Structure 1
């Protein structure tokens, strides 16, 4: 019996303020019955100690799982009588650290649940908790997350500043990140310079500010922290570089097209050339861009794009092209197809096969077409 009592104390060590009376194994559920110890309790109103019992009631709480099985606690709690005249008549005893008022879970189960939902939030947290034999809805998980205390605030040495959309094209905000720990520091309700400047002045200690290319943030940092180091963060640096490279490549699309197969002179290319000619003819006559768009039934931005192009070839985009096994024989195929009479495709396929082509016939036909 002493060994069983020692095992119970070991397994339920977090419930040491309670007196465990019975543990029942019900398959997937472990039901535990306990009671509060028989000792005097101070009245929460006047502080006078009393042990006079008015009545008893039971509280049902969930505890941490044992061997992947849920643990349900039924605790008998006393209602005591306050001896002070004029104070509250009765009160229920509380056990801080074990039984909190109005809660259906023990403190250690609430701590375990909070650790999971802090990292995974609602639905994902519920799926992980179900694997730990903890039943919880996603709404309860979010309420547990909202009850968690905020971590202590420390002003970061390296501060990351960036804007994001609360509602795209309507409402934006500013998020502040600790660039070293990658944790959120604060969220400002707008993207203005005044709000960021006020925050920086109220929280001294920032030495380096990583930001995007926004002039608004640059002005706020310049006014609040004139001696701080201002740098561009890695994401915006690569993003801006990629945008510049994409713009440069698009501007020389005609040059890139010469490196691959010639662009197909199909209906789309012909339409592009005709529209370019129509737009430039109207512009030469002194017609404005908006009037051109109305006459040609085109969008204003489309007319602007045609007007900026010095020649129609700048608008004919090069087709997407990837190297194939037929590329080494391109000159031979061009020469053979230009000779009269036209050589059948099957004969061309046999010719390049004899020269070392190792691809399939379907790949060759798609290339020719």
Structure 2
């Protein structure tokens, strides 16, 4: 007779008593000698758990991983450790990958900034086929060599995936994903909008002055902000060292500046461009400057009272923010000029330019039309974006070379840099703007991986995340 402790049912411990036969081997050379009879579906040699219990532990491990799974198992009367749960998950059978004709690859973070993985998706069936550790080209190339080679590889514009696809599947057609192309274009447009917005603010101020019949109050010259003074000093120092023949890395060491800051200052011919990019950021006081300036000129200098007044208009900030803004005006006793209407934030302008015109509200579309009439530069920038959008949505990849040339010849620094970078991966970008393949399903699975990762506790590692993703895809 053999006793098996299976589980707790209704608060009572259930003991299964089995009567099994034991067989003896007649061969004198057999090292085992005896064999116990097994009950199909219930027992197996050397097993400490029944098949049903193993499936239950695997399900608990899949959903809760280590420590949290142990706590749930204990409440069910199952005394197991977290390593046992992880082993049950790792022992689950792998699903066959099969032949993938169109493969989509992208990276995800298991620990942001430290550890990354790569997810592979069959873009024809939209099913996750595998997940591997690392996001470098060697990992992708090794995976491709071990499996049937795809005909098309859809990827982002990272150089590692491009090299890995070239090494592992040299005959595959590489396609740059349109989502990442549009995302990179939006980042370039936002940088150029910051510069254009500086000129747009001047145009709006001139228009407001032309329509104003009242005599403006005398302008009080207040001290320049410290950040502006520091930018002017650093810009002059960087360009002086560039004239002496120093490299950007050497300039960064000499001035104690970050390499990205040195590049930004070195690429800007005029310091006003850098100041505009750093100062034309959205502020919680946008929309209330005119009231603050007018009340200041009327003699109301108390920040608490001014905060209460603008709160009735919808201001949701604090009194300290109003105090910091008014501090620059307290060095003199004169009046300050009432500011002209501020243009919309750079992020709003970028969103309007990058959105489908049919999806914009009537107010947003009207403001964008007004801004494009006020600024020729903004109108040209919007036309470049429209041309790229038409090329991307209508799959007119043959127009890519002409678009790149037009962007490089224009005066937009960030847009020209984006266009030059497209030449480094020209074939894949052209394929992305010509072929119908896209990494949309891959991005969807990456978001699902992020949600699964947030649900995991304890010693959850990449292999556990991989099992969960593959079985839930």
Distance in 2 (alpha carbons) for counterparts of 1:358 and 1:168: 41
Structure 2 vs 1, CA of residues 217 and 254 (structure 1 numbering), >3 Å: closer, same or farther?
farther
CA displacement, residues 194-240 of structure 1 (integer Å, 9 cap, x when unaligned): 546535xx526x565432124325646873335xx846275x45643
For 2:245 and 2:31, the matched residues in 1 are separated by 92
1:198 alignment counterpart: 145
Q: Which structure would you say has the larger RCO, counting Cα contacts within 8 Å and 6 or more residues apart?
A: 2
> Which residue number in structure 2 is paired with residue 212 of structure 1?
156
Q: TM-score, normalised by structure 2?
A: 0.49
- Residue 139 of structure 1, CA deviation: 0.6
Aligned residues: 297
Q: Aligned residue for 1:101?
A: 45
Q: In 2, Cα distance between the equivalents of 1:212 and 1:143?
A: 34
The equivalent residue for 1:344 is: 300
Contact 1:70 1:134 survives alignment (8 Å): no
- Indicate which of 312, 320, 327 corresponds to 2:287: 327
Specify the alignment match of 1:67 in structure 2: 10
Query: Quick one: distance in 2 between partners of 1:362 and 1:163?
Result: 39
Question: 1:126 aligns to what?
Answer: 70
| Maintained 8 Å contact 2:69/2:85 | yes
Which whole-Å CA distance do the structure 2 matches of 1:80 and 1:125 have between them? 39
Write the distance in 1 (CA, Å) between the matches of 2:182 and 2:14.
52
Maintained 8 Å contact 2:155/2:177: yes
User: Would you say the 8 A contact 1:188–1:195 is kept in 2?
Assistant: no
1:244 counterpart = 2:204? no
Give the structure with the higher percent strand. Answer: 1
Q: Match for 2:273 among 314, 331, 334?
A: 314
Q: CA deviation at 1:358?
A: 4.1
| Partner Cα separation in structure 2 for residue 286 and residue 85 of structure 1 | 89
Q: Could you say what secondary structure the match of 1:315 adopts?
A: helix
The residue number in structure 2 matching 1:232 is 177
Q: Any residues of structure 2 matched to 1:150-229 within 5 Å, and which? A: 150-163=94-107, 175-179=119-123, 180-185=125-130, 187=132, 191-192=137-138, 195=142, 198-199=145-146, 202-203=147-148, 206=150, 209-214=153-158, 215-216=162-163, 219=166, 223-226=170-173
1:141 correspondence with 2:85: yes
In 1: Cα distance, 2:223 partner to 2:252 partner: 27
Deviation at 1:141, TM superposition (A): 0.4
Per-residue CA distance 1:152-199 (angstroms, 9 max, x = gap): 333345422235689999998754233444424364886147546535
1:302/1:61 Cα in 2 relative to 1: closer, same or farther (>3 Å)?
Answer: same
Q: What runs of 5+ residues in structure 2 fail to find an aligned partner?
A: 206-221, 327-473
Structure with more of its chain in helix, by fraction: 2
2: CA distance, partners of 1:170 / 1:143: 25
Larger mean Cα displacement after TM superposition, 97-106 or 160-169: 160-169
* Compared CA separation, residues 136 and 241, structure 1 to 2 (3 A): farther
Secondary structure at 1:223 match in 2: coil
- TM-aligned CA distance change 1:264 to 1:239, over 3 Å: farther
On the 8 A contact 2:105/2:121 being kept in 1, the answer is yes
Is contact 1:257-1:318 (8 Å) kept?
no
Q: Distance in 1 between matches of 2:303 and 2:225?
A: 27
Whether the 8 Å CA contact 1:289–1:303 is kept in 2: the answer is: yes
How far apart are residue 93 of structure 1 and its match? 1.0
1:296–1:337 distance in 2 versus 1, CA, 3 Å:
same
Change (3 A) 1:104 1:203: same
Shift of residue 91 of structure 1?
0.8
How far 1:107 moved relative to its partner? Answer: 1.3
Aligned to 2:232: 273
Shift of 1:138: 0.8
Superposition deviation, residue 248 in structure 1: 3.6
Contact 2:116 2:133 in 1 (8 A): no
Distance 1:151 1:362 in 2: 55
TM-score by length of 1: 0.60
3-state SS of paired residue (2:95):
coil
**Aligned counterparts of 1:73 and 1:256: Cα–Cα separation in 2:** 82
